[in-house]
């Protein structure tokens, strides 16, 4: 083998690793900026409803209504006078080009982003009257690409360990999507 090939391979590896290092340092810089400079929110604040009240009286179907919602990203108007109804039990796909407000829409529902005016309700309850933690625990968003946590099916169904020792609520979810028989035949949630 010609030693020149080894030299080219080493230089190529050096350039690749240097590029990866530069990319990683940029990511670290953005994370540090986020940690040090971004204002933090009080996600546990009391906005009018207690967790117990919402557990017994809130989401019955999951209808989301947006009325006259206006949202900004910085000083730029992103959503202007949006009126939408997401009916309970339906599936809705939101499509649009980059920068058209798709992520902002979900961010408003989850209280990640603030909106300028309008009202957003889930089953008739104004989300601005609920702590962000309660809203985020109640709403499920599905990513474009599937995400599975390392671990068992149980770990994926109950990532916060809210139903330890009680498989019944998890089997209710599996029944809704038609997978109960599969896991019962395997002896439970592995």
The domain ranges of the chain are 1-38, 51-138, 153-185
DSSP for 38-90 reads SPP--TT---S--HHHHHHHS-SS--EEEEEEEEEETTEEEEEEEEEEE-TT-
Name, in order, each residue with C-beta under 8 angstroms of 96's C-beta and a sequence gap of 6 or more: 102
Mean pLDDT, the chain, rounded, equals 84
CA 31 → CA 41, 110, 140, distances in Å?
Answer: 17, 22, 25
Reported as a single tens digit per residue, the pLDDT across 128-147 is 888 888 888 888 777 767 77
CATH topology of domain 51-138: Rossmann fold (3.40.50)
pLDDT per residue as tens, the chain (190 positions) = 788 888 899 999 999 999 999 989 988 888 888 888 877 776 555 556 655 566 555 677 889 999 999 998 888 888 999 999 999 888 888 888 888 888 889 899 998 888 889 999 999 889 888 888 888 888 877 776 777 778 888 888 888 888 888 888 888 888 888 888 888 888 777 7
CA 123 → CA 21, 66, 87, 132, 139, distances in Å?
Answer: 48, 11, 10, 16, 12
The structure's pTM equals 0.60
Q: How far apart are CA 53 and CA 51, in angstroms?
A: 6
């Amino acid at each position: 083998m010609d030693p020149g090939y080894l030299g080219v391979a080493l230089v190529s590896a050096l350039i690749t690793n240097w590029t990866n290092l530069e990319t990683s340092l940029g990511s670290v810089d953005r994370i540090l900026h986020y940690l040090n400079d971004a204002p933090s929110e009080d996600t546990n604040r009391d906005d009018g409803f207690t967790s117990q009240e919402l557990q017994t009286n809130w989401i019955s179907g999951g209808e989301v209504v947006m009325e006259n919602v206006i949202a900004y990203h910085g000083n730029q108007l992103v959503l202007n006078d949006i009126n939408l109804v997401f009916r309970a039990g339906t599936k809705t796909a939101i499509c649009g080009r980059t920068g058209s407000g798709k992520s902002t829409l979900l961010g408003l529902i989850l209280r990640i982003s603030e909106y300028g005016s309008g009202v957003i309700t889930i089953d008739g309850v104004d989300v601005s009257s609920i702590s962000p933690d309660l809203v985020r625990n109640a709403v499920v968003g599905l990513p474009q690409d599937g995400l599975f946590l390392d671990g068992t099916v149980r770990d994926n169904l109950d990532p916060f360990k809210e139903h330890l020792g009680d498989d019944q609520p998890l089997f209710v979810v599996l029944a809704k999507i038609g997978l109960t028989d599969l896991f019962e035949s395997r002896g439970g949630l592995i």
